Structure 1
Amino acid sequence: MQLHEARVVLTGASGGIGLAIASALCASGARVLAVARHQEALEPLLERYPLHLCWIGADLTVPGDRHKVLAAAEAIGGINLLVNAAGVNHFAMLEQLDDSEINAMLAVNISAPICLTKLLLPMLKQAESAMVVNVGSTYGSIGYPGYASYCASKFALRGFSEALRRELADTRISVLYVAPRATHTGMNSPAAQALNDALKANVDDPQTVASAVIRAIAGDRRDLYLGWPERFFVRLNSLLPHLVDRGLRKQLPLIRRLSQKPDNESLKP
């Protein structure tokens, strides 16, 4: 895809990865409709790229707000790129989560992107070529303790991406699934950051993720898994899951201890 010809709906545009993707798209000459509940984080970009960026406030779990996005996309003359980057997570053992927290996570991470994609597909089909980008996670391929509900939502997003790609195989719409590893964002909780620190996990900055996503869009890729050894562990988990089981079991005492800390809500890729 030629990025300077892209007309984009980008969800989660005020978050760490979403904001970095918005900046990279605008710098590439794309016209971006940034979807986020709040505008404040986007204000510097709106001032820098007044001809390329506009904002619409929306809660994508609400059908009426999804239709607001559709109307805004129609108002800019249609789109040829949809980037589903909105996501939310809680680092906690499953029994620590309220049903409302689980349902909210599933609504944002999987129901909203599926429903928004369905709503925008007729418009995408009108373009000469188009793409749907779903921002998932390494945890969409590896089940990780302390992230059971989050993993469930990202496994679902990966399956949705694969099925949608095959469903649209005879159209001009391609589907890209992106799986970042741990990423520095302002919404990471102290408990989640403490776990990454204790495990000496590799953590990317949002700009690194955004640059990789932009290259993948421009290169018409079908999937993008970021980071080594994370890509290796994704492969290992698919071939020899019992080895990963044993490795993660050793981490359980640490994960349980850190998940007990207060204020353990986090937003991760």
Structure 2
Amino acid sequence: MRLSEARVVLTGASGGIGLAIATALCASGARILAVARHRQPLEPLLERYPDNLCWIAADLTTAVDRSEVLAEAESIGGINLLINAAGVNHFAMLEQLEDSEINAMLALNVGAPICLTKILLPLLKQAPSAMVVNVGSTYGSIGYPGYASYCATKFALRGFSEALRRELADTRVSVLYVAPRATRTSMNSPAAQALNDALKSSVDDPQTVAASVIHAIAGDRRDLYLGWPERFFVRLNSLLPNLVDRGLRKQLPLIRHLSQKPDKENLEP
């Protein structure tokens, strides 16, 4: 896809990976409808790229707000790129989470991208070529203690991406699934960052992830897994899960200790 010709709906646009993607797309000449809860983080971009970027506030877990996103997308002349980057995460053992927190995570991480994609598909199909990009996680391929609910949502998003790609195989709409590793955003609570530090895990900057995503979009990729050794462990987990079980069991005492006081909400806007 030629980025200068991209007309984009981007969710989660005011923070973390989403904001970095918005910045990169604006610099590439794309036109972007930024969907986010907050306008303030987008102000510098809105001022710098007034002809490229517009903003709409929306709660993507509601049908009414998703319809407003559709109407706005129609008003800018249609779209050929949808990037589902909004999401929420909790670092906590399962029994520490309230049902409301689990349901909110499922609604935003799974229900929202599926339903938003569904409502925007007719517009995407009108374009000469189009793409849906779902921003998942390494934890969409590896079940990790302390992230059981989050892993469930990202496994679901990966499965949705694979099935949708096959469902649209005879159309001009392609699907790209992106799996970042740990990224330096508000999604990482202090406890989660402490775990990354203790395990000496690599943490990417949002700009690094965004650059890789933009490159994958331009190259019409079908999937993108970021980081080494994360890509190796994804493969190892699929071939020798018992080996990964044993390795992660050794980390359980540390994970249990650090998750005792989890942040209650870590949200990509």
Within a 5 Å distance, the mapping from 1:12-31 to structure 2 comes to 12-31=12-31
**1:157 and 1:253 mapped to 2: Cα distance?**
29
In structure 1, how many angstroms separate the alpha carbons of the residues matched to 2:48 and 2:144? 40
Alignment correspondent of 2:105: 105
1:93-132 equivalences under 5 Å are 93-132=93-132
Q: Output one character per residue of 1:119-142: Cα deviation in whole Å (capped at 9) or x when no partner.
A: 000000000000000000000000
Distance across 2 between alignment mates of 1:265 and 1:144: 19
The 8 Å contact of residues 89 and 187 in structure 2, kept in 1 or not, is answered as no
Give the TM-score taking structure 2 as reference length: 0.98
What is the TM-score with the length of structure 1 in the denominator? 0.98
**C-alpha distance in 2, partners of 1:62/1:142?**
30
Whether the 8 Å contact between 2:9 and 2:33 is mirrored in structure 1 is yes
CA contact (8 A) 1:192 1:266 kept: no
Relative to structure 1, the CA distance from residue 251 to residue 267 in structure 2 (aligned partners, 3 Å threshold; closer, same or farther) is farther
Instruction: Output the amino acid matched with 1:5.
Output: E
Distance apart, 1:264 and its partner CA = 5.4
User: Over the residues paired in the alignment, what is the CA RMSD in angstroms?
Assistant: 0.9
Letter in 2 for 1:142: I
Matches for 1:59-138 after TM superposition, within 5 Å: 59-138=59-138
**CA distance in structure 2 between the partners assigned to 1:44 and 1:260 by the alignment:** 38
- Give yes or no for contact 2:70–2:119 (8 Å, CA) kept in 1: yes
Question: Aligned partners of 1:146 and 1:23: how far apart in 2?
Answer: 32
Q: 1:91: how far off? A: 0.4
Cα distance in 2, alignment partners of residues 4 and 49 from structure 1: 13
Percent of residue pairs identical: 85
Equivalences, count: 268
Once residues 85 and 166 of structure 1 are traced to their aligned partners in structure 2, the CA distance between those partners, rounded to angstroms, is 21
What is the CA-CA distance between 1:266 and the residue it aligns to? 3.0
Matched, 1:178 2:178: yes
Per-residue CA deviation, residues 127-173 of structure 1 (Å, 9 max, x unaligned), is 00000000000000000000000000000000000000000000000
Structure 1 unaligned blocks of 5 or more: none
| Cα shift at 1:38 | 1.0
User: Is 1:145 equivalent to 2:145 in the alignment?
Assistant: yes
Deviations 1:96-138 (A, max 9, x none): 0000000000000000000000000000000000000000000
